[in-house]
Amino acid sequence: MLSADAVIAAITPGGWLEKHLPDFLKTEYFALELWQWLGLPLAIVLALVLSRLLEWLLMRGAHKLAKATTASWDDELVAALEGPLRWSLVALLVHAFAQVLLLEGQPRRLADLAVNSLLISAVARLALRSLRVATQAGSSRSTDPSARTHFAVTHRLLEVGIIVVAAAVFLMQFEVVRTVGVSLLASAGVVSVVIGLAAQKSIGQLLAGLQLSITQPIRLGDLVVVDGQFGTVEEIRLTFVVVRTWDLRRMVVPISFFLDKTFENWSRATTELLGAVVLKVDYSADVGALREELSAVLARPDVQALWDGRTREVSVTDADDKTMSVRFLVGAKLPSQAFDLRCLVRESMLACLARHPTWLPRARAESVVVPAPQ
């Protein structure tokens, strides 16, 4: 059995492993000796197998700890660890095996590049998953649309920040990129031109997203009318908003639209909305009977589910030489139900007019007897 000193000597240049290898395994091919070429695939396979085993052991213990609590967010966080943890272990094991294989020079730099890239991607992926778990946990605990909107916009900002930082750290591994970056940063004029010309619109959209998160003219779930299209705010991104229309289409609207142009928000302060139905009837129509008929319609169970129980008005709003206009004004519980309520009221009042044909608009003619000329 090898002692601790022997193990340490084996993973250092000139150690036991290098001294006791046969000479034919020390033959060099393309900057690596034969035993190193043979050890590379073995090291990768061992790293994959051992990382899988270590991940299973660690995840098993983490799941047991998470199940011991009553909260659900820690179970989701443990589940988010599964992929990134395995690749982090692969990177660490590959780094350890590179020490055993005595890699130097260009092969060592390539191995370090692969290890660092794996670690950067694993950490970034873990950060993105943890951010998603935290956002979902915060949104599920809050029923306030304002808080949910803050969570959504903040999530997008942090998500972009994590991706940008991870990409910057990855690119900084390359000497050429570092040199170009330093050269660009050294020239304030070039940086200002690049930002002013290439990133002006993108930065403006990001700032608009921040302003939308603070002022909140719209929130998730709000009912809005955009360019004559009625819909529900389904998703708020950093640069655009997704509005689901009544016929299940999706409108992708630039976020600056809600800051620069006028739109209707039907659920900004309250979810109640008034709906009006206007019918033209004959002068002989009994407005009092129509008012009673509306009360009977609003007492129906199917209408009760839509009506707010308060607003109920019947008014003669206009009159011309042939008909008078009667407006039936009712209040809906939700803006999305106002259209259905108006349709039910219109259908019922037309049925009432059909039962009283004399109340329907009609043209009148008067015959005048002209005396015969003398």
What integer pLDDT is reported at residue 183 of this predicted model?
A: 53
> What average pLDDT does range 203-224 have in this prediction?
75
CA–CA dist 88, 122 (Å, integer)? 6
Residues 294-336 have pLDDT tens digits of 999 999 988 888 898 888 899 999 998 889 999 999 988 887 7
What integer pLDDT is reported at residue 196 of this predicted model?
A: 52
Question: For residue 139, what pLDDT band results from cuts at 50, 70 and 90?
Answer: confident
What integer pLDDT is reported at residue 158 of this predicted model?
A: 83
Residues 334-362 have pLDDT tens digits of 877 888 899 999 999 999 999 999 999 88
What integer pLDDT is reported at residue 36 of this predicted model?
A: 59
Mean pLDDT across the chain: 76
What integer pLDDT is reported at residue 337 of this predicted model?
A: 84
Query: What domains sit in the chain, N to C, each tagged with a CATH number?
Result: 4-141 (no CATH), 146-269 (2.30.30.60), 273-359 (3.30.70.100)
Look up the pTM and report it: 0.50
Residues 94-135 have pLDDT tens digits of 777 777 666 666 666 777 777 888 888 888 888 888 888 888
Cβ density class 229-238: b for 16+ within 10 Å, e for less: ebbbbeebeb
What integer pLDDT is reported at residue 325 of this predicted model?
A: 93
Helix/strand/coil (H, E, C) string of the chain? CCCHHHHHHHCCCCCHHHHCCCHHHHCEECCEEHHHHHHHHHHHHHHHHHHHHHHHHHHHHHHHHHHCCCCCHHHHHHHHCHHHHHHHHHHHHHHHHHHHCCCCHHHHHHHHHHHHHHHHHHHHHHHHHHHHHHHHHHHHHCCCHHHHHHHHHHHHHHHHHHHHHHHHHHHCCCHHHHHHHHHHHHCHHHHHHHHHHHCHHHHHHHHHHHHHHHHCCCCCCCEEEECCEEEEEEEECCCEEEEEECCCCEEEEECCHHHHCCCEECCCCCCCEEEEEEEEECCCCCHHHHHHHHHHHHCCHHHHCCEEEEEEEEEEEEECCCCEEEEEEEEECCHHHHHHHHHHHHHHHHHHHHHCHHHCCCCCCCCCCCCCCC
Question: For residue 24, what pLDDT band results from cuts at 50, 70 and 90?
Answer: very low
> What average pLDDT does range 215-224 have in this prediction?
84
What integer pLDDT is reported at residue 6 of this predicted model?
A: 47
Task: Lowest mean pLDDT of 150-154, 165-169, 353-357, name the range.
Answer: 150-154
> What average pLDDT does range 202-230 have in this prediction?
77
> What average pLDDT does range 132-149 have in this prediction?
74
Is a pLDDT exceeding 50 seen at residue 14? Answer: no
What integer pLDDT is reported at residue 39 of this predicted model?
A: 62
Task: Lowest mean pLDDT of 81-90, 143-152, 184-193, 302-311, name the range.
Answer: 184-193
> What average pLDDT does range 154-161 have in this prediction?
80
